[in-house]
A and B are shown apart, each in its own frame.
Chain A
Amino acid sequence: MTPRTRTFRILAAGAAVMLAAAACSGGGREKTEDSGTSGGNAAGSSGYTIAMITHETPGDTFWDKIKNGAQQAAKDTGVTLKYSNDPEATKQAVLIQNAVDSKVNGIATTLVTPDALAGSVKAATEAGIPVVGFNSGIDDYQKLGALMYFGSDETLAGTTAGKRIGDAGAKHPLCVIQAQGSVALEARCAGVKSAVPGTENIQVNGADDASVVSTLQAKLAQDKSIDYIVTLGAPIAIDALKAMDQAGSSAKLITFDLNAEAAQDIKDKKIEFSIDQQPYVQGYMAVTSLYLNIKNGNDIGGGKAVLTGPSFVDASNIDKIVPFTKNNTR
């Protein structure tokens, strides 16, 4: 069949061109051995099993760092780590119950929806399994019976950030919320607002970059008096930069959290500063504290929550931090 032969010939020609172009090309993966998460004891050498349960929505770089921290801690202490997650409160409660049923030695969990998780956490403490809270639930962890807490106080983080931009002259900041109905994100914006009363919130669809850019672009066109943009996640900050560029806005940008790109933008002074809650530390400490508690009866924090943030990253300390963001540990 002639048409088919022709198709093959075109495909073959195409492939030849591709191969020629493929010859070599810079800018890709650096072919060096990764030494980010190595060393430590063999998994399980201390004989403990620790379950970590979070409300992670799959595909978020932030949670990746929590996991990396937890895995490194498990390696360092020789603990077997069982990680599971579900963004839905009732399902997260079931996962905690699963951990209790499988008789793990310790449970580290986020307490984003304290009321929904109370029952499962109680079941754990009644079974004599130590529970540590991290990332969210700072106000409720003691009431639920968790021993320790590692995380950032979101309201405090928001207020600190608000004070800092307020001192720099912010009158009308725009606080960008990328997930609807999230207590932690709302708390951050409320914190900013308590320091700068002119703060306005906006909702964007964080799962779609194009939509984030055009929504912010529309907002900047609608209200020219916006002088600061506060994004609550690093990828959103990158989108905000694009929107500001498109809208010709002269507003300044600050963000919560970090990734490699945002770190570079802080270095290039396109982002003023980042409020980092150090997710790697949250994951690392949650596992390590359980290990110490089981092995040695330790209690960290003196009966109070241990704050992993807010830690400011700006032009003054960014050079030190950039390599860590590339390792995906900060």
Chain B
Amino acid sequence: MSQTLEAPAPAPSEPSNRVRMGLGQRLLSRPEIGALVAAIIIFVFFLALAPSFRSAESFFTVLYQSSVIGIVAVGVGLLMIGGEFDLSAGVIVYTAGLANSMFCWYFGVNMWVGAFLSLLFCLAIGFLNGYLVMRTGIPSFLITLGTFFVLQGANLGVTKLVTGTVSTPDVSQIAGFDSLAKVFSSNFKIGSVTVWGSVLWWVLFVGLAAWTLQRTRIGNWIFAVGGNADSARAVGVPVVRTKIGLFMTVSFLGWFIGMHQLYRFNTLQSGSGVGNEFLYIIAAVVGGTLLTGGFGNAIGVAIGAFIFGMTSLGIVYAGWDPNWFKAFLGVMLLLAVLVNLYVKRMATARKVG
């Protein structure tokens, strides 16, 4: 990264060899700037082409769609900065919801008990993922691929065993459902605009993650273990604890969205969630997170999720042939990544002195 040809010579009057960057260049060197530019381009694009996109209602629908992906994506993004993958993040969402729903239905207990046990269960899965990766040294890609298949099969198998069908029964009459629904899937109106609680939670989680990464010691640890785990260990960073913590963060956020799905939709299809793990990774990568770890930030991942939400719904708002949806989505994502790369290259080219 430091071997760039066009690097301008530092001004002769500069007393030290440290390059002082202008505001523009400092902005450009941030990981999320490429995603931000791409997001603005796509936003303007749909604003121009899709008349029904131009309303506050539509904007908040897009935000809702983004938040459902974005909340887990924040965790996945942190984990990727820490140098690991989690392919089980898509199905754990449904594992969480199914566990809560079926436990309470079968035993007839308060939904809060199920939610709490489901949280412990998900954290245990996250811990197991992290522990196995750290203990064995097998790439997290393989370990979590294993967990992914186990959870996918167990979701179906256990649901069928407990309920006799492959979707969960109606749990909306069980005590505690309404209060939990207020926490996880409430919405309120501002004028004619419906704002979902999940959007606010998303903002909160992104803010928390951004603050942790930039302002705390744990944030430094995350960058360090993702950049080079051995050097990090050598300077005293608790590598194992940091990485296991990251895996548990992902499963916590997966649990959170699982709760949202359960308390919004009441019944869950046990085969759902497969494929979503890639959406989280895509959001993180589009948002400027490096696949190799050590680089990225939370705001970028949030913008990545927003690009996904905007594209997936923008096509509908524009009224285009739905058969092309996936193709169009792919092109949009490629463009986003290219813009991202281009901007980042410009930024790093100017940074080095």
Chain A residues packing against B (C-beta within 8 Å): 14, 18, 21-22, 24-29, 34, 36, 57-61, 63-64, 177, 180, 201-203, 207-211, 214-215, 217-219, 221-223, 235, 238-239, 242, 246, 259-261, 328
Contact = CB atoms under 8 A, between A and B. Distances in A.
Contacts of A59: 155-156, 166, 269-272
Nearest to B173: A27
29 contacts: A14-B116, A21-B110, A22-B113, A25-B108, A25-B174, A27-B171, A27-B175, A28-B171, A29-B108, A58-B271, A59-B156, A59-B269, A59-B272, A60-B271, A207-B271, A209-B265, A209-B268, A210-B260, A214-B313, A215-B312, A217-B61, A218-B52, A218-B61, A218-B317, A223-B52, A223-B319, A235-B167, A235-B267, A238-B267
B311 to A, nearest CB: 12
Given A209-B272, A222-B319, A214 B267 contact: no
Main secondary structure, interface of B, reads helix
Given A202-B322, A214-B65, A214-B313, A61 B269 contact: yes
Contact of B261 (A57, A209, A218): A209
Contact of B167 (A22, A211, A219, A259): A259
The 5 closest A-B pairs by CB, nearest first: A59-B271, A27-B173, A28-B108, A203-B322, A27-B174
B23 to A, nearest CB: 37
Contact of B317 (A177, A222, A259): A222
Given A59-B166, A61-B165, A210-B68, A28 B104 contact: yes
Given A21-B176, A180-B326, 6 more contacts: A25-B175, A25-B176, A27-B171, A64-B166, A209-B264, A214-B64
Contacts of B177: 27
A14 B65 CA distance: 33
Nearest to B63: A214
Which of A34, A203, A210, A211 is most buried by chain B, counting CB atoms within 10 A of its CB? A210
B312 A211 contact: yes
Contacts of B272: 59, 207-209
A330 to B, nearest CB: 12
Interface in B301-344: 312-313, 316-319, 322-323, 325-326
B227 interface: no
B317 A58 contact: no
Interface of B: 50, 52, 55, 57-58, 61-62, 64-65, 68, 104-113, 116, 155-156, 160, 164-167, 169-177, 194, 260-261, 264-265, 267-276, 312-313, 316-319, 322-323, 325-326
A235 B267 CA distance: 9
A29 B267 CA distance: 14
Given A25-B176, A217-B61, A246-B194, A222 B316 contact: yes
A180 B276 CA distance: 16
A21 B64 contact: no
Nearest to B103: A28
Contacts of A36: 164
A18 B116 contact: yes
B170 A260 contact: yes
Which of A58, A180, A238, A260 is most buried by chain B, counting CB atoms within 10 A of its CB? A58
A211 B326 contact: no
Contact of A207 (B111, B167, B274, B319): B274
A156 B48 CA distance: 41
A222 B52 contact: yes
A40 to B, nearest CB: 17
B61 A18 contact: no
A181 B62 CA distance: 26
A207 B170 contact: no
A173 to B, nearest CB: 15
Given A59-B269, A207-B275, A202 B316 contact: yes
A261 B170 contact: yes
B316 A211 contact: no
B173 A218 contact: no
Contacts of B111: 25
A21 B108 CA distance: 11
A221 B108 contact: no
A28 B271 contact: no
A25 B276 CA distance: 34
Contacts of B273: 207-208
B265 A238 contact: yes
Contacts of B116: 14, 18
B108 to A, nearest CB: 3
B174 to A, nearest CB: 4
A218 B271 contact: no
Given A210-B68, A218-B317, A29 B274 contact: no
Nearest to B175: A25
A60 B108 CA distance: 25
A26 B61 contact: no
A25 B264 CA distance: 20
A203 to B, nearest CB: 4
A209 B319 CA distance: 21
Which of A59, A177, A180, A246 is most buried by chain B, counting CB atoms within 10 A of its CB? A59
A156 B189 CA distance: 44
